[in-house]
Amino acid sequence: MKRHLISAADLSRDEALLILDTAEELARVSERSIKKLPTLRGRTVVNLFFEDSTRTRISFEAAAKRLSADVINFSAKGSSVSKGESLKDTALTLEAMGADAVVIRHSASGAPHRLATWVHGSVVNAGDGTHEHPTQALLDAFSMRRRLGALDGRKITIVGDVLHSRVARSNVLLLHTLGAEVTLVAPPTLLPVSVDTWPCAVSYDLDAVLPKSDAVMMLRVQKERMNAAYFPSEREYSRRYGLDRDRFAKMPDDAIVMHPGPMNRGMEIAAEVADSPRSTIVEQVANGVTIRMAVLYLLLGGDTA
């Protein structure tokens, strides 16, 4: 493994599969009554969160604690960061505390790259601006593999605000590495102008793509996009790109529905669809802890047995 996990593009096919296989082994541990492993005893993992994300933070926290690491939660709110301390000074402070790994969530794309130039420990990107969120892509791949088997040749459809989505970027890269065929579906305003250079197909027509999909991943539509002329209204977005009951019926019987959360029920996804047995949304949360254990284990714990 490399020292950092900043982009899904950092992972070779073998490395990605190693993480997924390691997660499978660790999942078995999670099924035991005593979930804790001693692997990272004495190592320090810092959760450096400049953006509110309780879900992701507690997922990383649980993962580190199950590996017996010491966890320090460093939230930007109420800390020296809100008094104007720079990212560099924060990094040097963590360095002085002896952080073995820093898990960073930041609103600025590229913040983990900058952090990695100032600290010696491993940097794990827990979401940077509109760039990437590689552990989300890993947990999505893990969830898909558990339901669908190997991902080679599988048809995965990602629907929604690709332009601003770090989840979409990481998923396109990782799924391509794993041999899946990705199709992005979005209004043209929510796709990057250069999307034709990405390793995936693009469609504006969700109804045409659904019958050929093994998995459909719905992205959250951010409130601020709704007021910035990316689409005329919430209702129109929902009609054209929302996964409602009728569209759900067009999917193959064994196809699954995914969402990275938090969901706007009734907007990009109907409640019945989100709660259906073919939805992996709750599993994705559980798998998040497992996959993050695997990542920390491989970055900090050295080789697998």
Partner 1 sequence: MIIRDVRVLGGEPVDLRLHDGVIAEVGPGLKGAGEEIDGGGAIALPGLVDLHTHLREPGREDAETVETGTQSAARGGYTAVHAMANTSPVADTAGVVEQVWRLGREFGHCDVQPVGAVTVGLEGRQLAELGAMADSAARVRVFSDDGKCVSDAVLMRRALEYVKAFDGVVAQHAQEPRLTEGAQMNEGVVSGRLGLTGWPAVAEEAIIARDCLLAAHVGSRLHVCHVSTAGSVEILRWAKSKGWNVTAEVTPHHLLLTDDLVEESPVGAYNPIYKVNPPLRTRADVEALRAALADGTIDVVATDHAPHPVEDKESEWSAAAMGMIGLETALGVVQGAMVDTGLLDWAGVAERMSYAPARIGRLAGHGNPIEAGAPANLTLYDPSHRAPVDPSSFASRSRNTPYRGMTLPGRVVATFLRGKPTVLEGKLV
d(CA 191, CA 73): 35
Is 155:212 a contact under the CB 8 Å cutoff? yes
The yes or no reply on residue 193 touching partner 1 (CB under 8 A) is: yes
110 assigned to a ligand binding site: no
User: Could you say which of 55, 88, 120, 245 is catalytic?
Assistant: 55
Nearest CB to partner 1, comparing residues 13 and 88: 88
Could you say which of 43, 57, 105, 106 contacts partner 1 (CB under 8 A)? 106
Residues near 159 by beta carbon (within 8 Å), at least 6 away in sequence: 184, 185, 186, 206, 216, 217, 218, 219, 241, 243, 268
- Least separation in angstroms between CB 27 and partner 1: 31
- Least separation in angstroms between CB 52 and partner 1: 18
Q: Which amino acid is at 121?
A: G
Q: Which amino acid is at 239?
A: R
**Using CB under 8 A as the criterion, what x/- string covers residues 69-98 for binding partner 1?**
-----------------xxx----------
**Using CB under 8 A as the criterion, what x/- string covers residues 136-165 for binding partner 1?**
----------------------------x-
Could you say which of 73, 79, 129, 147 contacts partner 1 (CB under 8 A)? 129
**Residues known to be catalytic:** 55-56, 83, 105, 133
* Binding site feature residues for L-aspartate: 83, 166, 220
* Binding site feature residues for carbamoyl phosphate: 55-56, 105, 133, 136, 261-262
The site for partner 1 (CB under 8 A) is made up of 86-88, 106-111, 113-114, 116-117, 128-132, 164, 166, 169, 192-195, 197-198
